[in-house]
Amino acid sequence: MEKRTTYFVSRKNVLTWLAALLMIGSAGLRIAYFCGKGADATTVWLQIVLPAAAGLIFALQILLDGKEHFYRTATPVFLMAVYFVVVVVATEMLKRYVFVNILVFLAFYIFYRQITSGRWSGPWLLTVLFAGAAAVYGYYHLDTLRQWQLHRMADTAMLLGCFVVSLAVRPHADGVYHPTWGDRSDGRLVRTLPGMSKIEPYIMTTRNTSCNTIHDELEITNIEKYVREKRKEGLTHFGINHVFIAAYVRCVSQYPAVNRFVSGQKVYSRGDEIQYCMTIKREMTTESPDTCIKLHLKPTDTVYEVYEKMEAAVREVKDAEDLDNGFESLVSALASLPGLFLAFVVVVLRTLDYFGLLPGFLLELSPFHGSVFFTSMGSLGIPAIIHHLYDFGNLPVFIAFGCKYRRNEVANDGTVEHKKYVDMGFTLDERICDGFYYAAVLKYLRRLLAHPERLDTPPETVVKDIP
């Protein structure tokens, strides 16, 4: 994994609250000054709204999201830099000095972004940056500060707020990856892909036109024996589906690239988060409604943990008075909209998804966002299908298993053996990894299913995806 230092601020630190109060106070002083003085529209937007918004956004971010996404404070800092450029331009300064000041503010923002995103190490650099900025500002405006001019005090409070928060900044020391610019809430941007892998999503723009399909069959003698053993152990509802899911989870632990996805024409990794989606029915009848569930699995999960998580999710849905787990309510609400407005809403959702801005609760409800979708045709009594992928969302893998069937085969000694098989259909987004990689995954999956007892224990090692 990429060696990168990321930073955070804690709400438990009194300096964080002091910085937020200074930012809020800065906005209040600014509004009070211009309310007493009066201002035209340009002044309102550039001298009040712009800096006040920057300060309030900064305060909210350090209080509400400073633990995990402190790097996002670079956005209000950029707004502050723009504001101070406006202040400089409004003065009667020579053009060459104005240009120099603009370059200084731009460099200041670049330094801040580089540090907070972890590219440059050392939180003390932030302290030096803001201490220097406050000192320079105080030097040039000392006379007006002595006169207690509110707008100068507001600027000073803003800079002091940034300086104080720099004293509260701490590096993450938990050894866990923390997001930075380019990452999404549901995935980490894979930054070290080969050039062709980065270009492919711009050439093959949709998931369905970028998929490969394969149909295969699997002899299940050992799997059926394994299922019977688990049921004797007390796993009453244990079945082939649990074996398949646990085997796929184990594949991700050794081949993490299959847990990537393409969104916004970039490739992301889900890391240790494996999101398994499936459709379930309360009763196996054509009248019975169905719903989608999503399991959150880990590469270290054994077949027992997969069984427990799946049983809990299924039981929660089937024991409920209705089959609504939130997804149906959302779909019903959208379906009630007029067609033209619904089309507009879908466009908005696609746009938000493209930029990774969909709210977390929508990502959780959506069956179109996940690592893999399994469907069992065996319960329907038909062969495995080759299922399409969804162009909405980011689901990269769809796997279908068919019903069991028997076949008579001639053994090496000339005797006839009766064997049982299931067929399998795989649909794979080829943009997340190449064909050789997929082939290795499918061969490993076969080896696991030939010896499913290996799924009883966690993997000896878990391979991490490239940075």
* pLDDT at position 1: 45
Check whether residue 89 and residue 194 sit in a common domain: no
| Full-model pTM | 0.87
Whole-angstrom distance, CA of residue 81 vs CA of residue 198: 33
Provide the token pair at 131: 């201490």
Check whether residue 103 and residue 214 sit in a common domain: no
Q: Please say if the pLDDT value at position 383 is more than 70.
A: yes
Is 228 domain-assigned?
Answer: yes
* pLDDT at position 303: 97
Domain housing 75: 7-171
Sign of the torsion formed by the C-alpha atoms of 399, 402, 404 and 407? negative
Overall domain count for the chain: 2
Q: Please say if the pLDDT value at position 398 is more than 90.
A: yes
Check whether residue 227 and residue 366 sit in a common domain: yes
Is 194 domain-assigned?
Answer: yes
* pLDDT at position 145: 61
Mean of pLDDT values over 360-365: 90
Check whether residue 153 and residue 222 sit in a common domain: no
Mean of pLDDT values over 362-366: 91
Q: Please say if the pLDDT value at position 27 is more than 70.
A: yes
Highest mean pLDDT among 24-33, 118-127, 194-203: 194-203
Question: How far, in Å, are 145, 315, 386 from residue 286 at the CA level?
Answer: 77, 21, 22
Check whether residue 75 and residue 207 sit in a common domain: no
CATH number of the domain enclosing 327: 3.30.559.10
Annotate 63-92 with b (16+ C-beta within 10 A) or e (fewer): beebeebbbbbbebbbbbbbbbbbbbeeee
* DSSP one-letter string for 227-269: HHHHHHTT-TT--HHHHHHHHHHHHHHH-GGGGEEEETTEEEE
Query: Other C-beta atoms within 10 Å of 405: how many?
Result: 13
Provide the token pair at 256: 């993490």
Mean of pLDDT values over 256-277: 96
User: Would you mind telling me the total number of residues written for the chain in this entry?
Assistant: 467
Q: How much of the chain exceeds pLDDT 90, in percent?
A: 62
Check whether residue 221 and residue 341 sit in a common domain: yes
Is 181 domain-assigned?
Answer: no
Find the range with the poorest average confidence among 5-9, 95-99, 373-377, 426-430: 95-99
Mean of pLDDT values over 282-291: 64
Check whether residue 286 and residue 431 sit in a common domain: yes
- The candidate with the shortest Cα–Cα distance to 176, out of 279, 272, 302, 291, is 272
Whole-angstrom distance, CA of residue 460 vs CA of residue 458: 6
Residue 325 pLDDT grade (very low, low, confident, very high; cuts 50, 70, 90): low
Q: What is the mean pLDDT of the chain?
A: 89
Check whether residue 131 and residue 226 sit in a common domain: no
Q: Which residue has the higher pLDDT, 374 or 283?
A: 374
- The candidate with the shortest Cα–Cα distance to 230, out of 220, 242, 222, 238, is 238
* pLDDT at position 419: 87
